[in-house]
């Protein structure tokens, strides 16, 4: 037994050892194995052995002590848990012997978590379940969870949809108070419209996909001098859905309508977004009407707005309008011929103006997933963008550019901003530009003018290498975001941009309507509130959509292993290339085997050289589906050589 002096010496020894250690804070990152890593706050990364990884979850913030191993690599030992964000998870209920667990679907979380007897509810082994964490493993490596709900059986119809909705905790039920408020709105519409100026004499029409029911904008065009006046009527839910009302609270929580494959989770109840507020053909509806003056050169020469009432003359589809533009006069009612021809001319002028003064996004095809009775993909239809879609897009852009400028002038609203390159990538960007366009290397590329010049310089260059440089730089851009502060949208090459054209689908549009009304009435501008929470809800919906599509894509390609497709390289890294298939838009990965076929990876230019072969972004390739792992949502391709392609054709 240690005496008091010995205990004191031991305590002092431990203290001395601790004082010589290097401690650092960071966030845990999982892996496909039992080990993990800690991404330290100072930018370094430390290896976390399996025994230590058993005590934490991916995403945990921890304090660790560091040990330098061979070749300067760091190894971490856990010291304390700072915080754990993992409170909720989904997965499969599994039983092994007497043990009951959830096998999580969370990326990077490879361990099973114990379900105590009283925490299993009515779930059965094999069920897909949603759980909350009840015991963190930091103390002894033992974690526990509690079943909150049973999502369903793995073979249930539309289980993929239900699972993704649960995984991302997407709101799919409206509160009783919101539904009650929605029931009262139809009776208020007639009185609201009667108070307003009736602009039904304008030839407004909606132009959407054939299946669209939530029609939130209608268009009309008239001649004005040597240019045009674009009249755009936008559904006006803001007049009857006040801030902090039950419907407003539910809409803010959703942030926007989420369009999953074969299913829509609307921001507002369907009775409102598909009927009461939708600009239904022949029905009088309240609307925000913007009158935009467009010069013959496509310049925006001013605009006015008013809250009025309108009546859409017709519900037209993109297909109808496209056929009309291509010369089929019978495709649309004769009464709309003049307005649609004017809209066609206006959109062409606007496209030309934007090409010279801002940035035009790449025109990519859309892919429609046609689902069968089991809610799995039956086929995928590739849809090239039509002239009608481009016409409507130009009208929406013009309207939202005007709205962005107005809201910036007012000092309120919710802006769609894009701040260009990521700050942490600027060193790489400048190093690359020093080699190819040194005059831009020291410029402030977060300034709109400099960014615009750089992109246009690369777009106009005749050398193929410059197009690859542009593709590389695009991979270093920040994502767009929502902000209560006016800032440039560098992706569009605009000083300001704020959307107002989808208020029954997007909360930021709904808020911007309220700001415009307050300004018109001389009232204090309403505050947006937490824009970061709004952005997070939008991002979560997009992540859910991608997750569902990837799951369905894997199932779709399971029966196509060995088939050959044309595609385009969308990703290049040290392990291989990512390829998007032309026919269906599905992405997969080609892993290069360095031992079998050595290659060099140029991380600066995102270029792989393998003998005489070069692989870079946007390059055309042929690939074969080599393997599909639906459980891990992974699709593997192999490159196809010309000889193999010819043999398959024969």
- Write the DSSP symbol of residue 255: -
In this structure, are residues 90 and 49 in contact, taking their beta carbons and an 8 Å threshold?
no
- The predicted structure's pLDDT at residue 336: 95
Summarised one tens digit per residue, pLDDT across range 91-108 is 999 999 999 999 999 877
- φ/ψ of 203, rounded to 5, equals -80, 65
CA 370 to chain CA centroid, nearest Å:
21
Distance of alpha carbon 384 from alpha carbon 473, whole angstroms: 26
CA distances (Å), origin 23, targets 42, 50, 63, 75, 80: 12, 20, 7, 12, 10
Instruction: Work out whether the CA dihedral 86, 89, 92, 98 comes out positive or negative.
Output: positive
Question: What is the DSSP annotation of 267-327?
Answer: SS-HHIIIIISS--TT-EEEEEEEEEEE-TTS-EEEEEEEEEEEE--EEEEHHHHHHHHTT
- The predicted structure's pLDDT at residue 465: 87
User: Left, alpha or beta for 543 (phi > 0: left; psi -120 to 50: alpha)?
Assistant: alpha
Beta strands in 36-140 (DSSP E): 36-40, 45-48, 61-68, 74-83, 88-96, 99-104, 113-114, 128-135
Instruction: Name the CATH superfamily housing domain 561-649.
Output: Nucleic acid-binding proteins (2.40.50.140)
Mean of pLDDT values over 289-296: 98
C-beta atoms surrounding 634 within 10 Å: 13
Distance of alpha carbon 392 from alpha carbon 395, whole angstroms: 5
Contacts of 368 (CB under 8 A, 6+ apart): 380, 381, 383
Which class for 385: exposed (0-12), middle (13-18), buried (19 or more C-beta within 10 A)?
Answer: middle
Summarised one tens digit per residue, pLDDT across range 575-621 is 999 999 999 999 999 999 988 899 999 999 999 999 999 999 999 99
Summarised one tens digit per residue, pLDDT across range 434-459 is 999 999 999 999 999 999 999 999 99
- 361 falls in which pLDDT band (50, 70, 90)? confident
Contacts of 559 (CB under 8 A, 6+ apart): none
Summarised one tens digit per residue, pLDDT across range 193-252 is 999 999 999 999 999 999 889 999 999 999 999 999 999 999 999 999 999 999 999 999
Q: List the beta bridge partners of residue 264.
A: 259
Distance of alpha carbon 583 from alpha carbon 365, whole angstroms: 10
Q: Which of 272, 270, 266 is nearest to 184 (CA)?
A: 272
Distance of alpha carbon 541 from alpha carbon 536, whole angstroms: 9
**Residue 508 in 3-state DSSP?**
helix
In this structure, are residues 569 and 619 in contact, taking their beta carbons and an 8 Å threshold?
yes
End-to-end CA distance of the chain: 85
Instruction: Assess if CATH 2.40.50.640 describes domain 88-156.
Output: yes
Q: What is the CB-side half-sphere exposure of residue 490 using CA atoms within 13 A?
A: 22
- 12 falls in which pLDDT band (50, 70, 90)? low
The answer on pLDDT for 378 being more than 60 is yes
- The predicted structure's pLDDT at residue 646: 39
**Residue 636 in 3-state DSSP?**
strand
- φ/ψ of 20, rounded to 5, equals -90, -10
- The count of residues in the chain is 650
The answer on pLDDT for 9 being more than 90 is no
- The predicted structure's pLDDT at residue 464: 84
- The predicted structure's pLDDT at residue 8: 61
The CATH code that applies to domain 22-83 is 2.40.50.140
Q: Where are the domains of the chain?
A: 22-83, 88-156, 178-402+537-548, 420-477, 561-649
In this structure, are residues 242 and 252 in contact, taking their beta carbons and an 8 Å threshold?
no
Q: Which of 249, 251, 303, 304 is nearest to 277 (CA)?
A: 251
Distance of alpha carbon 230 from alpha carbon 399, whole angstroms: 9
In this structure, are residues 156 and 125 in contact, taking their beta carbons and an 8 Å threshold?
no
Mean of pLDDT values over 58-76: 91
Percent of the chain's residues with pLDDT above 90: 89
Please state the pTM of the whole predicted model.
0.91
Domains 88-156 and 561-649 agree in fold: yes
The answer on pLDDT for 645 being more than 70 is no
Distance of alpha carbon 626 from alpha carbon 60, whole angstroms: 36
- The predicted structure's pLDDT at residue 567: 97
In this structure, are residues 310 and 233 in contact, taking their beta carbons and an 8 Å threshold?
yes
Distance of alpha carbon 152 from alpha carbon 140, whole angstroms: 32
In three-state form (DSSP H/G/I as H, E/B as E, the rest C), the secondary structure along 194-247 is HCCCECCCCCCEEEECCCCCCCCEEEEEEEECCEEEEEEEEECHHHCCCCCCHH
Cβ burial 317-344 (10 Å sphere, 16+ → b, else e)? bbebbbbbbeeeeebbeeebeebbebbb
**Residue 88 in 3-state DSSP?**
strand
């Amino acid at each position: 037994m240690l005496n008091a002096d010995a205990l004191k010496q031991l305590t002092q020894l431990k203290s001395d050892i601790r004082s010589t250690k290097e401690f650092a804070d960071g966030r845990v990152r999982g892996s496909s194995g039992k080990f993990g890593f800690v991404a330290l706050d100072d930018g370094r990364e430390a290896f976390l052995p399996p025994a230590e990884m058993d005590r934490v979850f991916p995403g945990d913030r921890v304090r660790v002590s560091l040990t330098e191993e061979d070749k300067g690599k760091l190894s971490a030992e856990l010291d304390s848990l700072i915080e754990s964000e993992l409170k909720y998870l989904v997965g499969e209920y599994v039983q092994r012997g007497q043990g009951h667990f959830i096998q999580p679907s969370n990326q990077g979380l490879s361990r099973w978590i114990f379900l105590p007897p009283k925490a299993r509810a009515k779930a059965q082994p094999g069920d897909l379940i949603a759980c909350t964490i009840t015991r963190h493993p930091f103390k002894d490596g033992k974690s526990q969870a509690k079943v909150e709900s049973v999502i369903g059986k793995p073979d249930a119809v539309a289980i993929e949809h239900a699972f993704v909705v649960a995984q991302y905790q997407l709101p799919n039920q409206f509160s009783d108070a919101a539904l009650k408020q929605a029931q009262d709105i139809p009776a208020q519409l007639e009185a609201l419209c009667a108070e307003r100026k009736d602009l039904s004499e304008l030839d407004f029409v909606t132009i959407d996909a054939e299946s669209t029911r939530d029609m939130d904008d209608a268009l009309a065009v008239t001649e004005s001098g040597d240019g045009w006046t674009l009249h755009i009527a936008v559904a006006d839910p803001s007049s009857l859905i006040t801030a902090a009302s039950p419907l407003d609270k539910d809409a803010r929580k959703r942030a926007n309508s989420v369009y999953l494959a074969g299913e829509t989770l609307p921001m507002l109840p369907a009775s409102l977004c598909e009927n009461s507020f939708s600009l239904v053909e022949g029905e009088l509806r309240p609307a925000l009407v913007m009158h935009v003056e467009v010069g013959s050169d496509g310049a925006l020469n001013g605009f006015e707005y008013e809250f009025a009432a309108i009546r859409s003359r017709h519900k037209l589809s993109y297909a109808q309008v496209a056929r009309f533009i291509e010369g089929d006069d019978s495709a649309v009612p004769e009464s709309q011929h003049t307005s649609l021809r004017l809209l066609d001319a206006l959109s062409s002028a606007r496209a030309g103006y934007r090409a010279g003064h801002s940035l035009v996004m790449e025109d990519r095809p859309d892919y429609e997933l046609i689902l069968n009775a089991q809610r799995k993909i039956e086929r995928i239809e590739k849809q090239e963008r039509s002239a009608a879609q481009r016409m409507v897009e130009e009208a929406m852009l013009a309207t939202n550019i005007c709205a962005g400028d107005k809201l910036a002038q007012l000092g309120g609203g919710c802006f769609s901003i894009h701040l260009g390159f990521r700050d942490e990538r600027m060193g790489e960007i400048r190093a690359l530009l020093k080699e190819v366009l040194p005059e831009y290397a020291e410029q402030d590329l977060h300034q709109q003018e400099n960014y615009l010049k750089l992109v246009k310089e690369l777009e106009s260059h005749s050398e193929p290498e410059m197009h690859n440089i542009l593709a590389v730089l695009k991979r270093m851009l920040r994502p767009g975001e929502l902000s209560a502060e006016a800032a440039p949208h560098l992706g569009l090459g605009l000083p300001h941009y704020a959307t107002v054209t989808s208020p029954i689908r997007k909360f930021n549009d709904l808020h911007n309507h309220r700001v415009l009304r307050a300004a018109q009435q001389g009232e204090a501008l309403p505050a947006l509130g937490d824009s970061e929470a709004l952005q997070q809800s939008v991002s979560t919906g997009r992540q859910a959509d991608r997750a569902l599509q990837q799951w369905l894509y894997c199932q779709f390609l399971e029966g196509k292993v060995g088939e050959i497709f044309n595609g385009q390289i969308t990703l290049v890294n040290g392990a291989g290339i990512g390829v998007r298939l032309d026919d269906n838009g599905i992405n997969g990965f080609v892993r290069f085997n360095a031992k079998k076929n050595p290659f060099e990876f140029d991380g600066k230019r995102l270029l792989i050289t393998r003998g005489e072969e070069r692989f870079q972004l946007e390059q055309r390739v042929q690939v074969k589906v080599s393997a599909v792992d639906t459980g891990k949502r992974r699709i593997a391709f192999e490159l196809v050589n010309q000889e193999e392609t010819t043999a398959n054709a024969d």
